[in-house]
Structure 1
Amino acid sequence: MKRHLFSILIGSIFLIGCNQKKDTFSYYDKNQTDSLFSLLENDRIDPKQKLKIANSIEVTIQNQKDIDTILLKQYHKLAYFYELEGNLEKCNSIYYDLIEKAENINNNKYIAIGNYNLGNYYYNKTKYDSAYYFFNKAEKRAVNLNSSWIYAKVLNIKAIILLNKRDYVLSEVYSIRALDIAKKNEFYDILYNNYLTLGNSQFGLNNYNKAIHYFEKAIEASYYLTNEHDYLYLKAQPYNYIAKVYIKQNEFKKAIELIQEAFKFDDYKKTDPIIYCYLKQNLAYSKYKLGDKTQWKEFQNLLKIGDSIDNIPIQMVNNAHLAEYYFDLKEFEKAKTHALAAKQMGHQTQFFDDELAALDLLAKIEPQNAKDYLERRIELADSLQTVERLSRDKFARIEFETDELATQKNEVEAKNQLLVRRFWIIFGFSTLLLLVFFLWFKIHKQRIKNKELLLIQENQKANEEVYQLMLDQQQQIEKGKRLEKQRVSMELHDGVMGRLTAVRMNLFPLIMTENSEKTDQFLAQLDGIQAVEKEIRSISHELNSNVFNENSNFVSVINQLFQEIEHHARLHFDLQISDDIPWNLMDTSLKINLYRILQEALQNIEKYAEAKKVTVTMFHKENQLNLEIIDDGKGFDTSIKRTGIGLKNMQTRVNLLNGQFSIDSKPGKGVKIILLIPI
């Protein structure tokens, strides 16, 4: 885990540096860009840092001149990131760039994706004209795709827009087209939405039986939406729509039974207050119409809930219900207050059917002002018809203009292709003439080049022979070195070691003399001889083992050094070496000096520190190798000059490596050695 977080930190530092240099990502590298995208998906990275990474990606892909599917996919992923971050303006800007790039290579898939997402943005903003324009462009491209999901989705949303504009007939046409695609491909989410749209279209056309039929089909489709996070809401929604149809037909008992069935799916009051209010207000109104006058309390309670969650449609409906309730009680002032509130909310939300119903109720509540309310109703109804007609004309014009633009674009492309063909014909003839004209010259020049190539080949062959001789000579030198090292090793081990051992064995019987003073002297001499034997054996082993060849594992060599010391010393080692240290990039001289520094430090600890535990830590940071050696021994006063050469040798080796060397110690507090070596 620590290594993983450290790698993320290094990557983040690298990216900050990249953002500070404008030209860092001026070239395109697919693998690098994919790595940056993987960082965007990492939850451990700070959101501000992610934005810097996203900016780096944007610079990278915008500077790419060659457009292909991979580049378009990266534009899509970047736009989706900004969408998740809530930066919709940046998201839309990326989608505009995506469409432009995709049109350059006539990639229908990503043209459709870009236009679909822009349309979806304006749809959520309820800017239906702009939404319809982009959805229409997406439809023209998506119709030719093998995957029909976008095509079906666009048709479905266009149907919903037309439904909101009260163009029920054309909404039905688009819904049926989308429904056919959704059935064939088992797009259950689109299937569900289209059944609801068709049901509401039929409800708007007063075809109540057909509306119920499509809402029941939506109920069947909802069982396939088990992976949706709001599955229980989607399951209850068609029940609510069917209940509204029954209420419209004054079949209140059927509405009550259906809503009670929907409430069995979940405790919506806790899980989804909105669908709870929709179901509850239809249930309460049905009971009220059947004579249960106590339901006015439910209307007031639902009005409070709607106010607490700032849901105007819920407040509007329950204000209308309370107005009707107080009108029945002949409490006309209260009825007027709620009816006016319902009228104002209906106008605000453009739910004009509810506004018309509120005007009808106000005309009943205030008969003396009925004429004014009815005139307002007629004026509103006429304006709605005008708006509906203008909307139909506007959407038809969008369809026509989109097709016309596509036709004009095709004509321009055809002309461009004709010009391109003519250009290539002229270019081909010109090239042929040039080739014929220069053919004789090239043949003559080629003959001269052939002679030059023969000379070059002969020189190259001679150079290769010289190089091979140099390699053979180098191999002989290396072989001689290796043999000489083996010879010295054997001489030390078999010659000097043998003689020292013999001396030690000859001295040993003298210990048995009765002179204790001489015995102590002999023992001291034997210890000295043994120490020399040990050091010679170590040198002999190192000469013969060729520790730091190219294939050696430096970490294993260090572990072996620690094991040898642990074997004869009462020391416990804690070795921590980071996995990201690039040992393969270090030359042999650096490894040798590092090994000798460790060896010298550990020998000093063993001889003088009286320590029980030694911690050695190595890690790579900012192009430096950090080495820390910490013991829990008796320590020493660093201000007192030391006479030994061990620390001086360590300092000298660090200086050879252009590194930094520091010691921190106090009596009784152990010793901490820190080395910083550039790599």
Structure 2
Amino acid sequence: MRIIRVFSLFFLVLTFSTNSFSQSIFEVLDSLKVELQQSKTPTEEAAILSELTWFYVQVSLDTAVMYGKKAIEVANDLNDPVLLSQAYSDLAYAWMEKGELVNARENYQSALDIRYEIGDSSKIYGTITNLGSVYQRDFQSDSAMANYLKALAFFERSGNERNADFIRNNIGVIYLELKNYRKALEILEQVAKYREANEDYYNLATTLNNLGSIHKHQGDDKKSEETYLKALEIYKDIGDAYYTSTTYNNLATLYNSQKRSKLAIEFAEEGLKLAEQAGATYDYVLLLSNLAQSYSDLKEFPKSKQYYLESVAGFKAQNAEEDLMTMYLLMSPVYAALNMPDSSAHYTQEYIALQRKLSEQEILELTSDLETKYQSEKKDKEIAENQLALRTKNIQLFGSLGLAVILAIVGYLLYNQQKLKNRQLQQEVELKAALAQIETQNKLQEQRVLISRDLHDNIGAQLTFIISAIENLKYFDPIKETLSHRYESIADFAKQTITELRDTIWAMNAGQITWEQLASRISNYLQNAEKASSIKFDFQVSENLTSEHQLASADGIQVYRILQEGIQNAVKYADPNTISVKVYEQELSLHLEINDDGKGFDESKILPGNGLFNMRKRAEELGGTISIISEKGKGTQIHLIWPTNS
């Protein structure tokens, strides 16, 4: 089910009616091309190129990108900041619709920087909204919401209800993506009423598409179908190839869920034509996956296999790992039906491996949040202790001054009383500190138990279900004899995953772990990695790190995850022959080195991913540093250093 994300456009307002839009937009394009040929100045040329970029997004994304680049080139030569910022914004729009989100974000940021310099407030907040839309498409909901709320406050203050409506729509979509269907329905129904009242049919159709998704998630398939068909009718009248293909995909997904396979095929094939015409790469792959599912349900397995293979290639190119995981799961029974047991087992293993990777990323986020909460509570406790100490010093000071004034009168009696008060105050401080420490430890343990239970109940239950399903498949005729050893291998792999999951839960519940325990986990991980690849692994632990050396369980998990990320990156990208891992102590610091003889990389020329970011974040949380040294053709070295008392 594809959620349609709509972003605000503040540089041009369409005035075409829905009945004449298709004809008018091509007339406008022809007219603009004539004006471009007749333009007399570079300023006129840049402005026309920008308009061509914007209008061609509705017709051909590749052509829109071409005109956008030309517009930037001309505006840059003119040194005109207004034209240049507009050209960047137009090209960013084309990149975003094409699914190239990195390019879109870079161009919107360039437009925003220029608009800050020239002080154009309405364009500034329009661009902030557009950046929010890029973050939203990249599923970075927190960054998207921050941009939207900043822009919404401005447009509400300035009375610009149309732009505020666009932002409210996008906020509604965020709630839909977060599966808060009640809140999403409340917001998007208001947006739909506003757009219908203002005859804004193009944007009404996008809202209807999202309302159709909400109705489907709420189990009302009939209302979902009616809403999708209403959106489809509007898009077909307008002549928008991109969003028409997206709506066809939503309907095909709905019909597949209802086992109306032939109808799903009909709508998916129509959507493919339009997606190809519009250059909508991601939607094209989604439609292929719908065709694969339809033919599988119809038991036309050769056709289903062909479309699944095309879908896998497409999702890999888009780096859509969750979609890819779904394809692996659905492909396995298709290959089994085609009597291709090796391929069936292969894709089942691919599914398990990718699910494990995504689950570990989720665990990483949970444990990072836990550590952040712990550090916050620790700081609060330190502040409270400092305040108590200051209070104690003040009381002692005033007490001493009072004793000096009345010492001759009260003498020995008051002196004893003051000693008693000091003793009681000290006991109070010690008691409060002890209670604060116990409360902090209890909260931390509660969080650990909660996360451990979630890991056991959710991920452990899923893996147990996979094992059970594989065990049952061994008894399916006529291929049970051929596949039995494959299924047993997959089941053993899933059982090993459960064992490692339990190890993680144990480490989280333990206060301290020894280096011997951590080294054993690392050694097992490297042995499994060596079996799964043609790479030779070498693991060395310094003799001065004996079994008596201990570290906090949270630190042990951080070190282990950094090592995992480093090994996975090397195996996936570096193509090495050997990988060596060293752990040693030197100058009151602990060291972890990972070296490979792979092809290396230039970090300044790549877009850093979550892997490198997470490694550095973990090192920072350890109180240490991490260096990544790589050179093309000469391999990569990762060196983690953190203090022994971390």
Work out whether the TM-score is over 0.5.
no
TM-score, L = length of structure 2: 0.41
Which structure has the larger Rg? 1
TM-score (norm 1): 0.39
Which one scores higher on RCO, CA 8 angstroms, separation ≥ 6?
2
